[in-house]
Copies of this chain bind each other. A is one copy, B any other.
C-alpha cells in the first residue's frame, strides 16, 4: 500500500478541512452553550455520562487527547462549580477518581438540550447519508494518528 502523490494531496486537504471544521464547530458550540459552560468542560461531563463514573483524570485526558495539565485545569473548573467530585483512589495513592454529581448530570443534560437546535439545523442543511458514510473514515484516521502519536497506546 504505497501512497502516491495524489493520496498525499488528498490527505493534506482532508486534514486541512478537518482543522477548519473543528474550529467552526467549536465556535458554534460556544455560542449555544449555557453561560459558563465551555466545550472542554462539556466534553468531560459527556464522557463521564457515556463511559461511566469513577474515571481517572489521566484516562479522561487520553480519551480526549489533551495533556494532563489541561485536564487538571478543566477538572478544577468543573469541581469548582460542583459538577464533579474528585476523590483519592483508595487503591492507588497517586491516583484520583472523578465522578459526576447530580448538578453535573443536570448541567450536561442542559447542555445537550441547548445543543439540539443547532445540531438539528446543521443536520437539516447537509446531506446526512454522506456524513454517515464518512464517519468510519474519520474514526480510522483518529485511530491511526492516535497510534502514531503513542505506539504503545
Copies of this polypeptide in the complex: 2
CB-CB under 8 A from A90, the residues of chain B are none
State whether B128 touches A133 (Cβ < 8 A). no
Asked, given contacts A25-B15, A125-B144, A145-B21, whether A135 binds B10 with beta carbons under 8 Å apart, the answer is yes
Give, as a whole number of angstroms, the nearest-CB distance from A44 to chain B.
Answer: 12
**Complex CA distance for A128 and B144, rounded to whole angstroms:** 12
Asked whether A148 is an interface residue with its Cβ less than 8 Å from the other chain, the reply is: yes
User: How many residues of A are counted as interface, with CB atoms below 8 angstroms from the partner's CB atoms?
Assistant: 59
CB-CB under 8 A from A15, the residues of chain B are 21-22, 25
User: Can you give 19 A-B contacts (C-beta < 8 A)?
Assistant: A1-B124, A3-B124, A8-B119, A11-B119, A11-B131, A14-B131, A15-B21, A17-B138, A17-B139, A18-B25, A18-B138, A21-B22, A25-B145, A28-B148, A121-B148, A126-B141, A131-B137, A133-B133, A134-B138
Given contacts A1-B128, A20-B64, 11 further A-B contacts (CB under 8 A): A8-B116, A8-B119, A8-B120, A11-B122, A16-B43, A19-B22, A21-B141, A24-B65, A28-B145, A122-B144, A134-B137
